[in-house]
Amino acid sequence: KAGVTQTPRYLIKTRGQQVTLSCSPISGHRSVSWYQQTPGQGLQFLFEYFSETQRNKGNFPGRFSGRQFSNSRSEMNVSTLELGDSALYLCASSGTTGVATEAFFGQGTRLTVV
Amino acid sequence: AQTVTQSQPEMSVQEAETVTLSCTYDTSESDYYLFWYKQPPSRQMILVIRQEAYKQQNATENRFSVNFQKAAKSFSLKISDSQLGDAAMYFCAYCALYGGATNKLIFGTGTLLAVQP
């Protein structure tokens, strides 16, 4: 069974640009969550999608948005990039029932904003 | 709001020895899950062990076990017979179970474990 796939693995963007990150969950999983990891703030929850609906949202500005497709693949978009958006973005795929289970993480996308 | 605290930024253990990583959390919920995740230099988060709050029995997974004290809101991880491959950042995480469905993980700040040969 393939794991969680995040693309791209590395990304360099210029301040003010926008970026889209992709996450393909484990086959059959309907929940996809996104996390931002930085040395200063640690791991912070961005949002969760379940069956194409945003079910939970963290405390991030509206520049951060996401969506989930019918095949459960999810994309995360950050508009008007700021230097502080430089981080490792992790995607987690969870269970088939929607009840809290262990989350399987992808290898992350390392975003650098210059 | 729920919070997770890991008070040990760094720990060190000799190979084959035992080490305990500490974690405390704060919540007013009665139903929740607790997790320990390992993040090696590859940066991929790997689940080490999981504990359901309604289960009084401490979870074990091979060399990894937890000491779950619900009243004290404490959830420590014990690694026995430490191996070089155990060297990593360890994160304690909390996940509430309200409304029957959520997967929002709240992480602690992590403990960097070094294993000395």
DSSP letters spanning B14-65: ETT--EEE--EEE-S-SSEEEEEEEE-TT---EEEEEEETT--SPPEETTEE
Q: Name which of B70, B75, B68, B71 is nearest B22 in CA terms.
A: B75
Question: How many A-B residue pairs are in contact by the CB < 8 A criterion?
Answer: 69
A39 touches chain B (CB under 8 A): no
CA–CA separation, A29 vs A27, rounded Å?
Answer: 6
Q: pLDDT grade, residue B99 (50/70/90)?
A: low
Do B104 and A50 count as a contact with CB atoms less than 8 A apart?
Answer: no
CA–CA separation, A48 vs A12, rounded Å?
Answer: 25
| Helical (H) or strand (E) element with B115 | strand B111-116
Q: pLDDT grade, residue B93 (50/70/90)?
A: very high
Measure Cα distances from A92 to A95, B57, B90 in Å: 10, 27, 17
Token pair of A32, please? 């996809």
Q: Is the model's pLDDT at A81 over the cut of 80?
A: yes
Mean pLDDT across chain B, nearest whole number? 92
Q: pLDDT grade, residue A1 (50/70/90)?
A: low
Q: What is the mean pLDDT of residues B13-21?
A: 98
Please tell me the predicted confidence (pLDDT) of residue B103: 75
Least reliable range by pLDDT among A65-79, A90-104, B24-38? A90-104
Q: pLDDT grade, residue B100 (50/70/90)?
A: very low
At residue B65, what is the residue type? S
Q: Is A65 helix (H, G, I), strand (E, B) or coil?
A: strand
Q: Which of B100, B105, B109 lies nearest to residue A45, judging by beta carbons?
A: B105
Mean pLDDT across chain A, nearest whole number? 92
Torsion region of B62: left, alpha or beta (phi above 0 gives left; psi -120 to 50 gives alpha): left
